Chains A and B, each alone.
Chain A
Amino acid sequence: MKLAIVIPTRDRAALAIAAVQSLLEERGAWEVFVADNSMSEGEVRRVADFCRETGVAYMRAPEPLPMAAHWDWALREVLDHSGATHVAIHYDRRISRPNEIAALVSIAATFPERLISYTLDHISNRA
């Protein structure tokens, strides 16, 4: 069981970096991929530099894509070029809780053919 976690992001380097950092606190049978759909070169550089320093896989589509097309592209790329048995998309504005990914991976390993969904908490600030 090998999980590929894809974090699509667009011009939100700070959020993407925080999302990845929360995942890096925990180690396990997964690999993190940042799929950058940014249009700002500054944001691109920031995310790319961070990924290089932390050893996280970084991908960038040949051209900026609409959100769904970008997710689709990122998932295809990851599935085509990694040996992942499972994939997950994480929003860039999400912080993962320590040890929870490992718990989910354990469930997925027990039921390798089933989709596993899980709960996310929301901090509601809809201003």
Chain B
Amino acid sequence: MTGRVYEVRTARVLELTSRAALGRATQALPLLSNCLVPRAIVERIRDRFGSICDSTAPDTSFLFRFCAIEERYLHSDRSAGVLYAQRLGNESSFRAGRSELRLEYAPIPGLNLARNCFYDDYERVRREMSSERFPRIDRDAYITDLARGLDSVRDAELRDRFRSSLRQHGWRGRRPAPARWIVSKLLPVVRGRRSDDETKLLAHARRHPRLPVRANSALAPLDPVELPRRSIVHVVSTATGAPWMVAVAREQNRLGYDVSAILPSLDGDIAPRLARDGIRSYAAPTAGLIYGAGVFGRLSAVVRLARLLRRLRPDVIHSHIFASVLTSRIASWLADVPVHLAGNVHPLSLESEVMRALEVGTAFCDTKTIASSSYTRELYIQHGVPADQVGLIFYTVDQSGSDPALVDRTAARRHLGIVDDAPVIGKIAYFYPPPKFPAILPKLLRGRGVKGHDVFLRAMPLVLESVPDAKFVIVGRGWGADGPAYEQTLRDLAITLGIDHAVLFAGETNDVPSMLAAFDVSVHCSLSDNLAGTVESLLMERPMVVSDIRGFADTIIHEETGLLVPVDDPAALASAIVRLLRDRELARRLGQHGRARMLSRFTLARTVADLETLLSRLPERASGHYRLMTTIGRTLAAPFRLLPVAFRAWRALRAARS
């Protein structure tokens, strides 16, 4: 027992079983009572066989069903527990001839032995599967194996009957030699004494977790599996927010990865949130390639980040958000990082021609480029990133707190001063101000906030015409240096529209589920987006009205999980909101379907599992990387690789300006 984990091929288990050659390796078999079984495997077995286990021995029934449908499993040779009171187990019933078992499939069906039950289950699944995975049982080896178990049958008459039965099937057993006869007489006495000491043995076993355990060499060759403790560094260009990144990092940390983060500053809320889980954060100009001062400042940012990466030597870099993705890509490439994952959180970097030139032009640095919506994935492929390089993994949040059954619907309303029966329409999003360089944006977005707050405000008077007592709640705060000013323009717009009595700017909240629970309708009228807050709203069963942008297509299916309205169309938005306020049955149905869809596909566990699957297919460890010569070579080659990209972006910018 080494505490190691082995990968075992089920074909090998079946082959050894068919030759009756498992021997002591039986302790490494995936019996139902010594396994952790993923739900998906249980469901596959249930789908294939109609039940999880059957027969008198559910353990072995499960074993062969599992071997029938799965190629491999992992075996830990740590001893997790102690089985005692063997006299109460099924095997003892067999030995005493008490079992009611009727074997039907074993090569010798009438032999009521525990070992034969094992072969009975093998043969039963073999016949059900009609598969070459299950070799035919070697009859001679099988009979010899059964004969080995005869001595343990305590009932002499039963033992003789079994012996005779085996002889009829060709077994040439010998009479016991005198020494074996003496042992057979003494053994029950010795065992009886051990039985008396069972309490002591049990206490001893619990105190000494390393009882001698027999080697499972019969399963050789077992390929040892080193448990990975990959180091993952998340790189992000914000020091605040990014709950989806924080959620993934914390979950990976919990799963045993060595996780850290590189942020533009440690002053925001991300660093302390990560620190609570023991995740380290480092400060570096993660967005310096975009926001650095002048050419020197931008290059300097890349070099600083590359030096930090060479110092940390992580196995995986996972960057998020356009500015940090670009900076991190170049820095990782120069530093010779083994794996770089580029996470795209917003399709804007592919919708804007200028940004797209940079996004696609630097994607060669990625091991995998991860789209966070089907729409973004299509854009990447459409614009030339190889399809096999582009993965699709949704950004989600920890769904455990988003359960409408567990959240008090009235708490947020009380906090906001809204009466219980008032229709409430809400929107949760930061106030992202219009970007400083409108020329780089698609025309629709120039001079506009990407989240479409102005569209929502313009829809409010139209809603109030039909539902005069409606209340509108806008949750969020101004983002970045220009955010507060932009928020003020929205407040001014509310006054100009004459709806300031009905709209409430609630500020930022740390309790999104409670706030969502207060909404009768949740709105996301973004001008461009990827999923955004639709996942959280649907988890809370909120009926949604969203703009018909393709970034929402994975979560919002029209008339099934929400209502789609044309982009930048306040009248259509108002009409859909009123429809949901009036048709509460439709609203309830959309919310329920939405939550079911989110739980089936858009959970944090699924996101992390998808990342795990992705990582499992990529190179394991950092060894063989961070080569100085590679860094020098790439630094020399960088102008040739990157100047054409910069030129394409410049040309696109010039075209946009003209």
Contact = CB atoms under 8 A, between A and B. Distances in A.
Interface of A: 1, 3, 12, 15, 22, 66-68, 71-72, 75-76, 79, 84-91, 93-98, 100-101, 103-127
Contacts of B87: 125-127
B228 A110 contact: yes
Interface stretch (B65-73, B261-269, B348-356): B65-73
B61 interface: yes
Contacts of A115: 30, 35-38, 41, 66, 70, 73-74
A113 B201 contact: no
A112 B80 contact: no
B167 interface: no
A119 B3 CA distance: 10
Contact of B73 (A101, A112, A114): A114
A64 B61 CA distance: 20
A127 B192 CA distance: 6
Contacts of A91: 33, 83, 89
B202 A121 contact: no
8 contacts: A86-B39, A96-B80, A100-B80, A104-B78, A117-B31, A120-B33, A121-B83, A126-B191
A114 B88 CA distance: 31
A12 B400 CA distance: 36
A126 B254 contact: no
B408 interface: no
B35 A116 contact: yes
B374 interface: no
Contacts of A111: 74
Contact of B74 (A72, A85, A107): A107
Nearest to A70: B58
Contacts, number: 229
A113 B34 contact: no
A91 B79 CA distance: 15
Contacts of B195: 125, 127
Contact of B38 (A89, A103, A114): A114
A117 B30 contact: yes
A117 B62 CA distance: 13
Interface string B180-208: 00000000100110110010011001100
B53 A95 contact: no
- CB-CB nearest 5 A-B residue pairs: A125-B195, A100-B80, A68-B58, A117-B30, A93-B85
Contact of A113 (B58, B89, B152, B609): B609
B24 to A, nearest CB: 11
B477 interface: no
Given A68-B56, A75-B42, A126-B95, A117 B28 contact: yes
A121 B33 contact: no
B82 interface: yes
A16 to B, nearest CB: 12
Contacts of A72: 51-54, 58
Contacts of B55: 68
Contacts of B228: 110
A120 B38 contact: no
Contact of B82 (A85, A101, A104, A122): A122
Chain A binding surface SS class: mixed
Contact of B79 (A3, A75, A97, A114): A97
B36 A108 contact: yes
B5 interface: yes
A119 B85 CA distance: 17
B29 interface: yes
Contacts of B80: 96-97, 100-101, 103-104, 118-120
A101 B34 CA distance: 11
B605 interface: yes
A96 B202 CA distance: 11
Given A107-B74, A124-B194, A117 B29 contact: yes
Contacts of B35: 88-89, 115-118
Contacts of A119: 1, 27-28, 34, 75-80, 213
A113 B613 contact: yes
Nearest to A100: B80
Contacts of A103: 76, 78, 80
Contact of B86 (A86, A112, A125): A125
B92 A126 contact: yes
B76 A118 contact: yes
A93 to B, nearest CB: 4
A89 B66 CA distance: 15
Which of B52, B194, B195 has the most CB atoms of chain A within a 10 A radius of its CB?
A: B52
Which of B35, B61, B201, B205 has the most CB atoms of chain A within a 10 A radius of its CB?
A: B35
B618 to A, nearest CB: 15
A82 B321 CA distance: 36
B569 to A, nearest CB: 39
A93 B83 contact: yes
B40 interface: yes
Given A119-B75, A121-B83, 7 more contacts: A79-B42, A95-B202, A107-B36, A117-B29, A118-B76, A122-B82, A123-B82
A95 B422 CA distance: 57
Contact of A97 (B28, B85, B206): B206
A86 B74 CA distance: 14
A112 B42 CA distance: 13
B32 interface: yes
Contacts of A120: 27, 33-34, 79-83
B52 A71 contact: yes
A117 B254 contact: no
